[in-house]
Every structure is written in structure tokens, then in C-alpha cells.
Structure 1
Amino acid sequence: MRTSGVLHATRGLGLHDHICWPYDDPAEFRRRAVEFLADGLALGQRCWYVSEGPTEELLSHVAELGAALDSGALRVVSIDDTYGDGGAVTPAEQVATYAAATRAALADGFSGLRVAAEATPMVRGDEALDAFCRYEHLVDRYMAGEPFAAMCAYDRTELPASAIGQLACLHPASGTGGSPFRLYAVPHARVALDGELDLESRDDFTRALDRADLRAGGGPVVVDGSSLEFIDHHALFALSRAADGDVVLRTRRSAPARLAALVGVPGLRVEAE
């Protein structure tokens, strides 16, 4: 099982987990990154710390993990070396880069790859934000099946709340103040949903569905809604449109089935978990 929901710490995450960590204080982000990386080292993963700045400065951020730096289990990596020169990413190419790094880690005897990345520079501007959001979901699909875990940190003092929300909702887990819902990858369904889908989340949900490209898999789109706390009729219609009117929502709650029948959402079937 992948960890999902709103978290207050970055400890206890597994080989396939993916967390968005909005922050206000760089020192607090670095503490959380060290927590996240220390757990990865304990699980036998190769770890990367990715951020802007000269190598000497980045090394100081993770100095307490010095033994892992000395052994090569932990590396500090410039963001330019990982994501390019700061322009918009090409999502599939970026996933391929991390997939190759994960395979290399496994070949070297590690249990997988774990990355703590300060990714704020990659989402400056609307085009870059859209590309990176599409990448976030695509790499999340990769993580659901391969031993690659990531912590993606974003600076709230630099990015607007709207950008943070668009990014956070495409992670299975996030820190506080991210998004009221999450859309993420799971092995047994096309996507999973949790949290609350209401008027507040309407625009971000529509964007998230577009970026997830539910039609790409072919056939009925199965959605795991077992952790959904609330979904309104606008979100049900958006889900139907995104799946070309062929979607199965599996949920533990009875209200979505009654609501879908009442308002006549085309092509949506609600199944009890």
C-alpha cells in the first residue's frame, strides 16, 4: 500500500511513496528532507538530495548523513543536472531519467532510489507549471510499480497558493496546506482519489484529470475512491467527461451512487468497496 493523505512528517514512508512538501522556512524543509533520506538509507535505497546551489552548500544541508555521503549511498545533485536548465520539463523524458537511475541503483545492490528535491525552480511560469504537473502524475505512475520514492518540496514564499494546490493534488501524500484532495496512481486501478471534491477543489480537479489523461489506458476507467470523504455532482460529471463516459468509481460511501443516479451522470457506475 502507498501512503496517502495529509502528513505532518516525512518519516515512515516506503519504497513507492511520493510526498509533496510545501514549506515556508528553508531550514524546516532541510530537516524534513534529512528525515526522508535517512529512512530511505535505512531501507537500503540509494538517495539523492537535489536542490539549487553550489555543491559545498548542498553538502552542508545533509551533513548529518555524512557516513552515507562517504559511502556513496547518498549523493547531492544540482537541480540543473537532474531536471535540465530550468525550462519546462519534457515529462516522459524526465521519467525515463529517473527510471534509468532506479535501474542503476538496483544493479548496484540497492533496494531502489529515493530523491528529496527542492523543485521550486522547475515551476516558475504557467508553461513550466503545467509541464511539471503532468510530469508529477506520470512519475507517480512509475513509482506505483517500481522502488522509487520522492519528496517534492515547494517554497510557499515564492509560489502562489494556486500553484502549490495544483502540484500537491497530484501526489498521494502531502504536507499541510497543500490541497483538499489527491489524485494518484495505484496498481489496481487507473487512479485513486482521496480527500474532498467540492466547490473549492473544482478547478484543480478538472486540471488534474486533464493532466492524468485517464483515456490513455483504454477500456473502462476504474477509480479507487475508497478514501474519498466527499464528492459533489460537479466532480462526478468531470470524472465522466475525463473518462469519455466510461468510468467505474469504487467507494465505501453510499452517497455517490445515490447522487449519480439522481443527477444522471452519463457512463458512470458506482460500486461498493
Structure 2
Amino acid sequence: MRAARALATLDEVELGDHVCWRMDPSAAFPTDARAYVADGALYGDKLVFVAPSRGASALTRPASDRLPPASVVLDLPDHADTESVLAAVRREARTAVRQGFRSVRVLTERVPTTAPGGAEELLAQELKLDEFASESGAIVVCAFRPSLWDAPELERAACMHPHETGTRAPRPAFRMFSTGADRWSVDGVIDSECAAAFNAALRAAMRHTAEVRLQFDTLGMIDAAGMQALVDAARHLPGRRIDVEGANETVRLCWELAGYADAAVPVVMAP
């Protein structure tokens, strides 16, 4: 069973992990991931680097930290959509199995985008990468330079990773991560400060499926703003539905008192 946790270093990654790496301001990508890369060779994993076009040269230029032979660089367009990214990563994972590797280790540096819909596209990619790691046993590390990111945007992205490491890597208010096809575990606290991030995560998860299942077994608390964010996400697209499992008695009572236990609301809250 997957569980959220913090890592002291990238040396602690395990199969199935999806890690938010908050890089030190002085870190060099991918040089500072050399232990992660070296461990890939040690354990028989294939390295897959996901790089936008503008960043590919940094990964392929001759240098002392030249990439190992058992690696591939996916030189994708700057604004590659989620389906293209996942298709490329899955293709490399299938190839790695045929080649006799244990698994794949994915490494990518995330860069902010100002493209229309770019913020939601990033969340959708992170959720799908998490689902990929969960189902395949791959390891996925997403590097973020905090200095490049608006704090709320970085917080939203961090919430899509069950694991985190790096300089001053605080635990996100909540985390949403895959526990099966279209099934997501939500832990932590969802209140007015992170309700917008929760809504964005749910909308991203519902983009290509009519029904999403959430597990609230480890959720500490969800307030009125969080409940409204949940309902608004379910209503964002027609014909969508969210099934919530594992909600404690207090959460279910608050849900009923708020008037959401109604057939017209496309969210079902169950024990």
C-alpha cells in the first residue's frame, strides 16, 4: 500500500515512488541527481530523462557528468500535452522490460509555463505520472527550483506527489496520490487555504474519466471551503461523478448538515 512520506535524500527512493524534489538554489540539474542516476545502474534500472526542447542540450552535451549508457532523453516540445508525455514514458518503460531492466527511473526538471491552461496541464501530468509510478513500479523524480515558481503554484504541484525531498521541503497541506486506476488517496488537511489547489487537482483528475474515487481514510480534516471545492469540481464537467470512500463520521455529518447529501449533487460520501 502506498503511503506519503518525506525522504532525506534521493538515495531513499523506492520502486513506485513519485517524488517532488525542491532543489537547492545552487543545485545543478542533472548533476545533483548523480547518486539517483548511479543507483539506477546499480539496481538495474533504465534512466529516462524528460526534457523540454530548450533543456535537452543540458542533458546531452559532453561533460564530466555524461549520462550513463543505459539512459534515454525524451526531447519533448515545450508545451507537450499530458497524453504525449505519458505515451513516451510508457513506451520507454515497455522497452526497458524487454531489454531486461528491473524498471525505469524517470527524472525531469519542471519549469513554469505561461501557456493558456498550462497550470492545469502540469497538474494533470503529475497525476498521470503518479498513476504510472504506482501501477508500473517505476520511480519518478520531478525537480523544482523554488526561485522560479510562484509559491501557490509550487504548492499545488507538490500536492500531486506522495513523496518529497530537498532543501526546506515542507509537507504540503494535503496530498493526492494514486492507489489504482482513477482511484486517489487524499491525506492531510483541506481548508480554505488549499481548497483552490484541491479543486484544481480534482478537475485535472476528471479530465478524461467520468468517475473518480477518492479515499479519505487518512484525511485529517476538510472544512466547508474544501467541501465546496469538491462539489464544484464534480460539477465542472457534465456527466462526472466523485465517489468518496472512508470518510469518518464527523466528515459525513458535516457533509449532511451542509446539504450536500442530495441526489442532485454528483458526489457520494460513504463510510
Alpha-carbon deviations, 1:99-158, whole Å to 9, x = none?
1000011110012211122222xx232533332222222222222212322100111112
Match of 2:257 in 1: 262
Partner residue, 2:162:
172
**Residues 29 and 199 of structure 1: is their aligned pair in 2 closer, same or farther, counting only changes over 3 Å?**
farther
2:88 corresponds to 1:114 = no
- C-alpha separation between the residues in 1 aligned to 2:9 and 2:91? 29
Q: How much has 1:39 moved relative to structure 2?
A: 4.3
Letter matched to residue 211 of structure 1: A
Q: Deviations over 1:184-241 (max 9, x none)?
A: 22117621111211111011111111111177144xx421122212211222232234
Taking the aligned partners of 2:233 and 2:37, their CA distance within structure 1 comes to: 36
TM-score by length of 1: 0.79
Q: Distance in 2 between matches of 1:195 and 1:9?
A: 22
Unaligned runs of 5+ in 2: none
Q: Please give the secondary structure, in 2, of the residue aligned with 1:94.
A: helix
What do the CA deviations read for 1:49-88 (whole angstroms, capped 9, x no partner)?
5563445768544x7xx8xx2xx23x373xxx4322x2x1
Higher helix share: 1
Give the whole-Å Cα distance in 2 for the aligned partners of 1:178 and 1:37: 25
| Contact 1:236/1:260 (8 A) holds in 2 | yes
Q: 3-state DSSP class of the match of 2:177?
A: strand
- C-alpha displacement of 1:13: 2.6
Report the count of equivalent residues. Answer: 255
- My pick for the range that moved more, 186-195 or 108-117, is 186-195
Classify 1:100/1:215 alpha carbon distance in 2 versus 1 (closer, same or farther; 3 Å).
Answer: closer
Q: 2:122 maps to which residue?
A: 132
Check whether the contact 1:19–1:151 (CA below 8 A) recurs between aligned residues. Answer: yes
**Contact 1:21 1:151 survives alignment (8 Å):** yes
Task: Name the amino acid aligned to 1:15.
Answer: L
C-alpha distance in structure 2 between counterparts of 1:3 and 1:24, whole Å? 25
Q: How does 1:29-178 map to 2 (within 5 A)?
A: 33-49=33-49, 52=55, 53-55=57-59, 59-61=63-65, 69=68, 72-73=69-70, 75=71, 77=73, 81-84=74-77, 86=78, 88-120=79-111, 123-127=112-116, 128-175=118-165, 176-177=169-170
Whole-Å separation in 2 of the counterparts to 1:56 and 1:96: 22
Structure 1's 259 and 32: CA in aligned 2 closer, same or farther, altered over 3 A?
Answer: farther
1:181 to 2:174 alignment = yes
Number of the residue aligned with 2:201: 208
Counterparts in 2 of 1:58 and 1:232: CA distance versus 1, 3 Å:
farther
State the partner residue of 2:27.
Answer: 27
Residue 193 and residue 40 in structure 1: after superposition, are their counterparts in 2 closer, same or farther (change >3 A)? Answer: farther
8 Å Cα contact 1:191-1:222 kept in structure 2: yes
Structure 1 residue 46: Cα displacement: 0.8
Instruction: Tell me, yes or no, if structure 1 residue 250 matches structure 2 residue 250.
Output: no
Q: List aligned pairs for 1:11-26, cutoff 5 A.
A: 11-26=11-26
Partner of 1:10: 10
TM-score between the two structures when normalised by the length of structure 2: 0.80
Where 1:157 maps in the other structure, the secondary structure is: helix
Shift of the 8–125 alpha-carbon distance from structure 1 to 2, 3 Å rule, reads farther
Q: Is the 8 A contact 2:108 2:143 kept in 1?
A: yes
Could you tell me whether the CA contact under 8 Å between 2:129 and 2:140 is conserved in 1? Answer: no
Match of 2:184 among 148, 167, 191: 191
Instruction: Report deviation, 1:97.
Output: 0.4
In the TM superposition, structure 1's runs of 4+ consecutive aligned residues that sit over 6 Å from their partners are none
- Judged with a 3 Å threshold, the aligned counterparts in structure 2 of structure 1 residues 112 and 124 are, in CA distance, closer, same or farther, namely same
Aligned residues of 2:246 and 2:270 also touching (Cα < 8 A)? yes
